[in-house]
Amino acid sequence: MARRDRPWLMRTYAGHSTAQASNALYRRNLGKGQTGLSVAFDLPTQTGYDPDHALARGEVGRVGTPVAHLGDMRQLFEGIPLDRTNTSMTINATAMWLLALYQVVAEEQGAEPTMLRGTTQNDIVKEYLARGTHVYPPGPSLRLTTDTITYAVSHLPRWNPVNVCSYHLQEAGATPVQEIAYAMTSAIAVLDAVRDSGRISPGRIGDVVGRISFFVNAGVRFVEEMCKIRAFGEIWDRLTRERYGVTDPAQRRFRYGVQVNSLGLTEAQPENNVQRIVLEMLAVTLSRDARARAIQLPAWNEALGLPRPWDQQWSLRIQQVLAEESDLLEHEDLFTGSHVVRAKTEALAAEAWAEIGRVQEMGGALAAVSSGYLKSRLVDSHARRRARVESGEERIVGVNCYPETEPSPLTAGPEAAVLTVAPAAEAPVVEALHRWRARRDRAAARRALDALRRTAETDRNLMFPTLECARAGVTTGEWADALRGVFGEYRAPTGVGGAGAAGAAAPDPALAAVRRAAADTARALGVGRLRLLVGKPGLDGHSNGAEQIAVRARDAGFEVVYQGIRLTPAQLVAAAVQEDVHCVGLSILSGSHVALVPDVLDRLRAAGAGDVPVVVGGIIPAGDAAALRTAGVAAVFTPKDFGITGIIGRIVDEIRLAHHLEVVP
């Protein structure tokens, strides 16, 4: 019998409402046997806004914990010894800032920075492609990543300062080949920048490679996903050996953590998500040679809303049963010698190398982001997958096959099936921020921000003035705004224009019928084409659904107005009025629909466009959906409404109803 392998780090991605509430949750999870922390920050924190900023309205504490300053970070980790904790922080544009706050809190606890262990995600390329929490243009963003890496290698030697994240690429539609290729080109961009910065001697590039980790996705096709991980490892080993001359095999090891695929979780028959999660976990645990070193599993009900502590406990127990009760960790790799696994791994690797080559020929990942190539490839892949689901070619149990079901006791009371963050929780956070600003040494904060701006205008490392900002009581929004003033902001390509038509592979009778209905309606209204505004109010950067609606509406003959993410209700209403649209479609997955949708409705009425139908899509509990319809929303779509062509048809119907035209069943 082989030596028993040690189990992976077990985490749950957690944080909500306030730093105090999240601290209590972390302590409870650690007490249940969780062996690492995975911190979820709210969207204002991720995008560099304070809780009292206009764009933060409705977003504070919704999808993570708000951290606006050093005091919040102290509360977040109160009673948790950071020199004995492995902490993963899902943060990107503001990663340097949150790492500085974390280090200062650790120092206040008496910990040596050299003892800190954990990860900052800090992969900005995937933000432009899939997640949407970018702030600065590609060049300055890469500089922030490079500065963080070069600082950490010397001062935080156990910390992983960058976590190249392919997880969200799969969520945005990436095939396994694309997930490998685009993660690798992102890693190349980072490593080239570090190498060319001159801050790391050529002999220490192996130290940098050895501190780079990856955060990958694992879907339900677990054989293919396991082979994807093996291909990842082989490509990384060859890439770091040949391109960067790293000779130590331990430094070249593909070090990765996982969250399994949230894209595949369903609102319909959500209890099926449990077996999906188990299968997806097997992809990254069965093979000892390709086993993850850290795993966090989503909860069964994440397609319904924010999971409760009990739901997260269930996901933790899934990991613990496999690690503690099975014999998995007692054996060598189970797939050594498998010709099936070897052939699939080689095929994925070969295709990924080819795509890596194409991106590098364009000038690398940042050039391919700026040109829109990478985003359009992902939008196109996602559109093709959605078309396969709608046609039934790709079968999803409980959604497009076997929809018959018994009533589920897990969701008998929809409002009790998820954790709800009360809108009233935002006000105390804002009030606490105002007290912090009033009590700090304002002159010290001003001096620290001035030093940050001056450094940003040079090529010196920004981590040092960032640490001083943390110590001086600077806020998240102030730190980010200081850099916005030097670097500017960035709006990434949407990828919608370059995506292929959904019906390109085969004739689609349903889409043809919607196209005819749209054309008939446009003629009845005396316009060339119906106009649809697709909008994402607030800070939610998950734009995949909005992009697919935009692509399918375009295929159905609409003129689509889609300006990307992160717009205020005022900006969206101004665009709707200026473009004289026939319908406004809002996409919100962060839970901020409660505050933002009524604001859009009120502003449309004030602008004299109250007769324009508004439809909303997102993760919206049944009670909220009823309230939105009462407020004037024409239709609400949730993940159970997987048929995009049907949604576009419903939008045509709502336009006809708004103009007193007959709707044909």
| Residue 13 a catalytic site member | yes
| Antiparallel, parallel or unpaired: β 531-535 and 294-296 | unpaired
Q: Is 157 exposed, middle or buried (0-12, 13-18, 19+ CB in 10 A)?
A: middle
| Antiparallel, parallel or unpaired: β 13-14 and 37-40 | parallel
> In angstroms, rounded to a whole number, what is the distance separating the alpha carbons of residues 622 and 617?
12
Residues 6+ apart with CB under 8 A from 621: 304, 305, 414, 415, 418, 420
For the CA atoms of 99, 102, 106, 107, the dihedral, rounded to the nearest 10 degrees, stands at 70
CA 277 from centroid of its chain's CA atoms: 18
3-class state of residue 334 by DSSP: coil
Instruction: Transcribe 8-56 into DSSP letters.
Output: PEEE-EE--S-HHHHHHHHHHHHHTT--SEEEEBPHHHHHT--TTSGGG
| Residue 555 a catalytic site member | no
| Phi, psi of 566, rounded to the nearest 5 degrees | 60, 65
**Active-site residue among 16, 344, 375, 542?**
542
Burial 573-608 (b: 16+ CB within 10 A, else e): bebbbeeebbbbbbbbbbbbbbbbbbbbbebbeeee
| Phi, psi of 561, rounded to the nearest 5 degrees | -105, 110
Residues 6+ apart with CB under 8 A from 24: none
**Active-site residue among 536, 582, 599, 624?**
536
| Residue 540 a catalytic site member | yes
Nearest to 645 by CA among 378, 383, 396: 383
| Residue 155 a catalytic site member | no
> In angstroms, rounded to a whole number, what is the distance separating the alpha carbons of residues 665 and 661?
13
Q: Which helix (H) or strand (E) holds 436?
A: helix 426-439
| Residue 168 a catalytic site member | yes
Q: Which helix (H) or strand (E) holds 617?
A: strand 614-618
Longest dimension (CA), the chain: 78
Count other Cβ atoms within 10 Å, centred on residue 402: 12
**Active-site residue among 151, 167, 182, 244?**
167
Q: What is the 3-state secondary structure (H, E, C) of 104-172?
A: HHHHHCCCCHHHCEEEECCCHHHHHHHHCCCCCCHHHHHHHHHHHHHHHHHHCCCEECEEEECHHHHHC
> In angstroms, rounded to a whole number, what is the distance separating the alpha carbons of residues 501 and 498?
9
- Give the CA distances from residue 417 to residues 63, 261, 624, in Å, rounded to whole numbers and listed in that order: 17, 21, 14
CA angle 497, 500, 504 (to 5 degrees): 145
Please list the alpha-helical segments (H only) found in 243-372: 249-252, 272-283, 309-325, 339-361, 365-370
> In angstroms, rounded to a whole number, what is the distance separating the alpha carbons of residues 25 and 1?
39
**Active-site residue among 16, 69, 126, 168?**
168
CA angle 625, 631, 634 (to 5 degrees): 65
Residues designated catalytic? 13, 167-168, 536, 540, 542
